[in-house]
A and B are shown apart, each in its own frame.
Chain A
Amino acid sequence: MNLSQIILITLVLVFALYVFRFRTVLRDRIIYLSLIAAGMTFIIAPELSTQVANMVGIGRGTDLVLYAFIMFTLFNNVSLTSQLKKTDQQITALVRHTAIAEARVGTIQQLQPYNSSDFLTKEKSID
């Protein structure tokens, strides 16, 4: 196993740890900005990517950029999933609220109300 393989596997594990333990929106944004900065550096100095790649035992700079791109895509995916999860929670809260606020009781019950019908009218007025 060469150096680059160790680095890449460590990176994947660190990434997983980050996703399940240490993610915050601020940290996400800092990572985004650093990735943009790194990307621009490689555009300005294309030979730099090859130099860095060679240092860790990857033949071509293009390969390094490809690996970075894959990690970035994964990272982006996780950010989106997390955001989607929040939206899901908000929709759930909203749908649940509406469902409870608009509770209806079947026909026979309306003729013969039972003790919890007090609760129904009370709850509507609270909400």
Chain B
Amino acid sequence: MPIEPKEPIWIVIPAYNEQRAIGDVLRKLLQFPYNIVVVDDGSADKTYQECLKFPVTVLRHTCNLGQGAALQTGISYAIKSLNTRYIITFDSDGQHSAEEIVRLLEPLKSGDYDVVLGSRFLRPGDAVNIPQLKKVVLGLATAFTRASSGLKLTDTHNGFRALTVEAAGKINIKQNRMAHASEILQQIATLKLRYCEVPVTITYTSYSKVKGQSLLNSVNILWDMMRSNIK
């Protein structure tokens, strides 16, 4: 394992029952000089123990709250850390590739953007082995989010993002479960943060397909969004 000074960059990884995949994800990420914080969202398996085998910070939710809550916990932690400049959100199931973090950071480092969002639909062939039905539902979700937030995006439900620490401090994820993806975009629009999209590859493996969102879950997302509007 290379020991070198870390860059002021934190990778935030929410993980729920990922003991099989998280080790490989961390091994790849640790080839880069980034700080890593994994938030174990009350997993029932050995995700927590698995993460502690690596030189990364591990936080554990006592009970399962949802991906949105885990992201916010990791972001809150990273913000409080000394000298943090940039925060990356990264999936724990191996769908994202560590080499692409550099490309997400570029627009932030230029100072022109506050938030960089990964998109699997900007470049043909980036969504590797995407199931056809998933493509349709993601298209609908994107159309919905574009209409409701006014952001011009091609992929609204991508967990691969980069934020400046200032932008991360302004965003407050209140949607504990999956509706946080739309919520983050909503806040980007409301806070008038400068955003752009960068093409990223998403690899659909048999593992991530099983672990990923079932399509019917979009009903849950809409429900959560409604519920959060109750005064």
Contact = CB atoms under 8 A, between A and B. Distances in A.
A16 to B, nearest CB: 10
- For chain A, give the interface size range: 35 or more
A2 interface: no
A106 B228 contact: no
Contacts of A85: 227-228, 230
Interface in B60-88: 60-63, 65, 69, 72-73, 76-77, 80-83
Contacts of A103: 37, 57-59, 77
6 closest A-B pairs (Cβ-Cβ)? A109-B55, A23-B231, A108-B55, A99-B59, A106-B54, A106-B52
Contact of A23 (B39, B59, B63, B230): B230
B84 to A, nearest CB: 9
Interface in A85-117: 85, 88-89, 91-92, 95-96, 98-100, 102-109, 112, 114-116
B210 interface: no
Nearest to B10: A116
Given A116-B81, A119-B82, A107 B55 contact: yes
- For chain B, give the interface size range: 35 or more
Contacts of A102: 59-60
Contact of A108 (B1, B65, B174): B1
B17 interface: no
Interface in A65-92: 78, 81-82, 85, 88-89, 91-92
A104 B39 CA distance: 11
B53 A95 contact: no
Contacts of A107: 52-55
A112 B55 contact: yes
Contacts of A116: 6, 35, 57, 81-82
A99 B5 contact: no
B3 interface: yes
B61 A95 contact: yes
A19 B55 contact: no
Interface of A: 19-24, 78, 81-82, 85, 88-89, 91-92, 95-96, 98-100, 102-109, 112, 114-116, 118-120, 123
Given A21-B231, A96-B76, A119-B81, A106 B39 contact: no
Given A20-B231, A23-B230, A95 B62 contact: yes
A114 B76 contact: no
Contacts of A100: 59, 73, 76-77, 80
Given A96-B69, A120-B57, 14 more contacts: A22-B231, A81-B230, A82-B230, A91-B65, A92-B65, A95-B62, A99-B60, A99-B77, A100-B76, A102-B59, A106-B52, A107-B52, A108-B1, A116-B81
